[in-house]
Amino acid sequence: MNTGFTYTDIIDAEAEGETLLGYYVSRYAHSDEVEWRGRIEAGVVRVDGVVSDSDMVLRRGQKLTYEREGWVEPEVPRTFEVLYEDEQVIAVNKPSGLPVLPGGHHLQNTLLAVVRERYGGDVPPSPLHRLGRGTSGIVLFARDTQALRGLSEAFQERALTKIYRALVTGTGLERTFSVNTPIGEITYAPTGRLFAATPQGKPSASECTVLHTSEEDNHTLLDVSIITGRPHQIRIHTAAAGHPLVGDQLYDVGGIPKPLLDGERPPLPGDVGYHLHARLIAFTHPTTGRELVIEADPPDILKTPQELSA
């Protein structure tokens, strides 16, 4: 069991005027109204440190805290491969099923925690980007402030090359194609909000190359280079192109969530089962200026027949 966690929110202009109960129900839909009302009445939800009523009207600038008691976290794979390391940068190969950062039911069973267990020191390693829980492959960590600043700027300026391997449904795709569908947040009842394809989203760009097609399985293997780095970008873009990832329970054709079915557990962004691997990242080292190309071998299901026979 972990030690629990305190979640903090600051009320902004958009939330001003909502009730305390309404705020939590609308933004943290993993729990229903009855559960949130019980927490508020039990005093584990507070406004500016004070126990309050469910119908309290919120004002801008107020600080909300929810003190969650310790819980038993879901089991995850806690091993990882070190692909590269020096005094400033670490690159690891994350297994599918291990979240990068705390969230939901995961607090200590994360890549962040297990990397910091191995690499202690005065400045703990900080991840420079994240992968979805079900995505395997390369994650970069900075070991000091200089690397953190330099590589963060490189990510913001899109001065890195990032290539993923993806298995999608369907065949008959062009050998190379681009997807530029905007990605942004939409309303999604199980979580409140969800990133998906939407005309109101931010510009997003992916370049796809067909590596192998299996007519028998109705699958196509792709290399996908992402120009932007939106949350769940490849899952959304391949689905928006009409070819969702094999095993993806969340995103449907069009890059939007699948319809919710009565009596069934709704799919969530952190669900695993899809086939996506961050296989290559190339960047300039923040201090030496050396060009680094780091690769992580994809799992067998994401290899071409030629790669499997090599």
Structure confidence by residue, pLDDT tens digits, 220-236: 999 999 999 999 999 99
With pLDDT > 70 as the criterion, what percentage of the chain qualifies?
A: 100
* Distance of alpha carbon 193 from alpha carbon 223, whole angstroms: 29
* Distance of alpha carbon 279 from alpha carbon 101, whole angstroms: 20
Q: What are phi and psi of 208, to 5 degrees?
A: -120, 140
Contact between 39 and 204 under an 8 Å Cβ cutoff? The reply is no
Task: Answer whether CATH 3.10.290.10 is correct for domain 5-68.
Answer: yes
Task: Answer whether CATH 3.30.2350.10 is correct for domain 158-274.
Answer: yes
Q: Where in the chain is the domain with CATH 3.30.2350.10?
A: 158-274
Residue 310, pLDDT score: 83
Residue 103, pLDDT score: 85
Contact between 183 and 202 under an 8 Å Cβ cutoff? The reply is yes
Residue 201, pLDDT score: 98
With pLDDT > 90 as the criterion, what percentage of the chain qualifies?
A: 90
Mean pLDDT of 121-148: 94
Residue 185, pLDDT score: 97
* Distance of alpha carbon 57 from alpha carbon 259, whole angstroms: 34
pLDDT tens-digit map of 8-39: 999 999 999 999 999 999 888 778 899 999 99
Instruction: Evaluate if residue 66 carries a pLDDT over 80.
Output: yes
Contact between 65 and 46 under an 8 Å Cβ cutoff? The reply is yes
Instruction: Evaluate if residue 122 carries a pLDDT over 90.
Output: no
* Distance of alpha carbon 252 from alpha carbon 231, whole angstroms: 16
Instruction: Evaluate if residue 85 carries a pLDDT over 90.
Output: yes
Residue 200, pLDDT score: 97
Q: Where in the chain is the domain with CATH 3.10.290.10?
A: 5-68
Instruction: Evaluate if residue 189 carries a pLDDT over 90.
Output: no
Range of lowest pLDDT (7-11, 190-194, 278-282): 190-194
